[in-house]
């Protein structure tokens, strides 16, 4: 009997095989099988990570297969993105977003091997930051697949929350958009515009355009690099309304597919929208029925990003009304 492959095209992954390929790859496979605009790519199995051991040694036959796959993907693109697809990653309420490593801008087939090892190494960091992950008894939830895809050379990119994570009772979805690649939008490292769309008819009800003086782009030598935005575009809205509506349509459709609000990463290149990732919105309190719109004393405060991190860092401090809200 032929053994199961350790490297397959993303379009063949399914959520029923999440232990083999990791959650991110399986979500993308489900989307691609339904004709969502997901870039082509391959996925390295979680079994390969397990067999690599503590030294992260890649089997010679698998090494050759990775190089061939990278060469094929590079044939139509100048760079590859190598990203994690851990079994525990992107679960509701615990996405681990930003903990696992991504290597953006691999420009030669041989470079994909070192990029895979770098992604694998980040699993150790995640285990240290997550007591739940470290305590997994049989180790299956700690395994990590790896996704290898061409980089989308985005003119505009960002994220779309299919329900407003700050005011979930408002009936709106939220889009953050910036020039160039979308790296840094979620963390707030790159200035981004914000658009609020009414969920029921996807009408743009509000927008906040900021000064976008920097963005991420690919540098041929160093890979992902922060660069300056031309003065003529710094104060310009980077996402036309018709594109915002289309992104909102995708986000609502993905929410319907997976049955819960989604955080969707997207990019626009050559007049096409691409879906790069989708995961449940981890910040929503799914057990609290007391979701209500926040009324701001100062309208400008509604444009800020509020989180619960203050209480997480200062556990002895009393809760303030906004913390409770």
β-pair partners for 177: 158, 193
What was the pLDDT predicted at 290?
Answer: 38
3-class DSSP state of 179: strand
- Global pTM reads 0.82
If you average pLDDT over residues 71-78, what whole number do you get? 86
What residues have CB less than 8 Å from 318, skipping those under 6 apart? none
What was the pLDDT predicted at 123?
Answer: 85
Residue 145, Cβ density class (10 Å: 0-12 exposed, 13-18 middle, ≥19 buried) = buried
pLDDT higher than threshold 60 for residue 194: yes
Of 317, 270, 323, 272, the residue nearest 294 (C-alpha): 323
Separation between Cα atoms, residue 212 and residue 224, nearest integer Å: 18
pLDDT in tens, 158-185: 999 999 999 999 999 999 999 999 998 9
Contact 276, 194 (CB under 8 A): no
Q: Which of 103-112, 137-146, 202-211, 300-309 has the lowest mean pLDDT?
A: 300-309
Above pLDDT 70, what percent of the chain? 79
What was the pLDDT predicted at 217?
Answer: 93
Separation between Cα atoms, residue 282 and residue 284, nearest integer Å: 6
Of 100, 70, 98, the residue nearest 85 (C-alpha): 100
Contact 244, 100 (CB under 8 A): no
If you average pLDDT over residues 54-80, what whole number do you get? 91
Residue that has been written with the tokens 């290898």 in this structure: 148
What residues have CB less than 8 Å from 305, skipping those under 6 apart? 166, 188
pLDDT band per the 50, 70, 90 thresholds, residue 314: very low
Question: Long-range contact list for 230-238, CB < 8 A, 24+ apart?
Answer: 233/179, 235/209, 235/211, 236/209, 237/193, 237/207, 237/209, 238/156, 238/177, 238/178, 238/179, 238/193, 238/212
If you average pLDDT over residues 186-199, what whole number do you get? 92
pLDDT higher than threshold 60 for residue 109: yes
């Amino acid at each position: 009997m032929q053994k199961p492959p350790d490297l397959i095209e993303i379009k063949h992954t399914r959520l029923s095989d999440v232990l083999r390929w990791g959650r991110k790859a399986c979500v993308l496979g489900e989307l691609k099988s339904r004709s969502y605009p997901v870039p082509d790519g391959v996925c390295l199995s979680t079994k390969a990570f397990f067999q690599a051991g503590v030294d992260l040694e890649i089997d010679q036959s698998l090494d050759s297969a990775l190089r061939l796959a990278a060469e094929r993907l590079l044939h139509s693109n100048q760079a590859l993105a190598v990203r994690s697809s851990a079994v525990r990653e992107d679960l509701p309420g615990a996405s681990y977003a930003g903990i696992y490593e991504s290597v953006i801008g691999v420009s030669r087939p041989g470079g994909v091997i070192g990029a895979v090892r770098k992604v694998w190494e980040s699993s150790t960091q995640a285990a240290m930051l997550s007591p739940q992950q470290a305590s997994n008894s049989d180790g299956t939830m700690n395994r990590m697949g790896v996704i290898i895809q061409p980089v989308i050379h985005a003119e505009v990119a960002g994220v779309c929350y299919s329900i407003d994570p700050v005011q979930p009772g408002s009936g709106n979805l939220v889009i953050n958009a910036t020039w160039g690649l979308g790296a840094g939008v979620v963390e707030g490292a790159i200035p981004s515009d914000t658009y609020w769309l009414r969920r029921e008819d996807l009408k743009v009800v509000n927008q906040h355009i900021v000064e976008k003086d920097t963005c991420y782009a690919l540098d041929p030598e160093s890979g992902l690099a922060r660069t300056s935005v031309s003065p003529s575009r710094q104060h310009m809205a980077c996402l036309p309304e018709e594109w915002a509506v289309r992104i909102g349509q995708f986000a609502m459709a993905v929410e319907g597919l997976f049955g819960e609000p989604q955080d969707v990463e997207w990019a626009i290149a050559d007049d096409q929208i691409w879906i790069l990732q989708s995961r449940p919105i981890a910040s929503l309190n799914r057990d609290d029925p007391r979701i209500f719109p926040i009324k701001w004393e100062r309208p400008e405060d509604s444009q800020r990003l509020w989180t619960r991190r203050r209480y997480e860092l200062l556990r002895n401090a009393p809760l303030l009304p906004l913390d409770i809200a």
